[in-house]
Amino acid sequence: MKLYIQDLNFSYDNGLIFNNQTHTLSSNRITLLLGQNGSGKSTFLKIIAGLEKPNSGSIKLRDNNDKSLKFNGNISYLGHKLALKEELTVQENIKFWHNFYGKDLLAREFEELGLDKLSSMIVSNLSAGQKKKLALYRILMSNKDIWLLDEPFSNLDKKAYGYLRELLLMRLNNDRIIIITSHSKLDLVDKMIINLDVDL
pTM of the model: 0.88
Q: What is the pLDDT of residue 189?
A: 61
Quick one: 2-86+144-199 is in which CATH superfamily?
Answer: P-loop containing nucleotide triphosphate hydrolases (3.40.50.300)
Please name which of 143, 161, 153, 135 lies closest in space to residue 82, comparing C-alpha atoms.
Answer: 135
- Asked whether residue 171 carries a pLDDT value surpassing 90, the answer given is no
Q: Do residues 78 and 152 lie in contact, with contact meaning Cβ atoms separated by under 8 Å?
A: yes
Residue type at position 127: S
Q: Do residues 154 and 123 lie in contact, with contact meaning Cβ atoms separated by under 8 Å?
A: no
Q: What angle do CA 127, 140, 162 make, to 5 degrees?
A: 60
Residue type at position 58: S
Q: What is the pLDDT of residue 190?
A: 63
For the ranges 51-55, 70-74, 131-135, the lowest mean pLDDT is seen at: 70-74
Per-residue pLDDT band for 194 (boundaries 50, 70, 90) equals: confident
φ, ψ of residue 65 in degrees (nearest 5): -100, 15
Task: Give the DSSP H/E element, type plus range, for residue 46.
Answer: helix 41-49
Task: Give the DSSP H/E element, type plus range, for residue 130.
Answer: helix 128-142
Q: What is the pLDDT of residue 200?
A: 43
Strand intervals (E) in the chain: 2-12, 15-26, 29-34, 56-62, 68-69, 75-78, 146-150, 177-182, 191-195
Q: Where are the domains of the chain?
A: 2-86+144-199
Q: Do residues 138 and 103 lie in contact, with contact meaning Cβ atoms separated by under 8 Å?
A: no
Per-residue pLDDT band for 39 (boundaries 50, 70, 90) equals: confident
| Rounded-to-integer distance, Cα 92 and Cα 164, Å | 23
| Rounded-to-integer distance, Cα 168 and Cα 67, Å | 26
What's the start-to-end Cα distance of the chain, in Å?
27
Query: To the nearest whole number, what is the mean pLDDT of the chain?
Result: 88
- Asked whether residue 111 carries a pLDDT value surpassing 50, the answer given is yes
pLDDT tens string 118-153: 999 999 999 999 999 999 999 999 888 899 999 998
Mean pLDDT for 172-191 is 78
- For the four alpha carbons of 106, 107, 110 and 113, in that order, the dihedral sign comes to negative
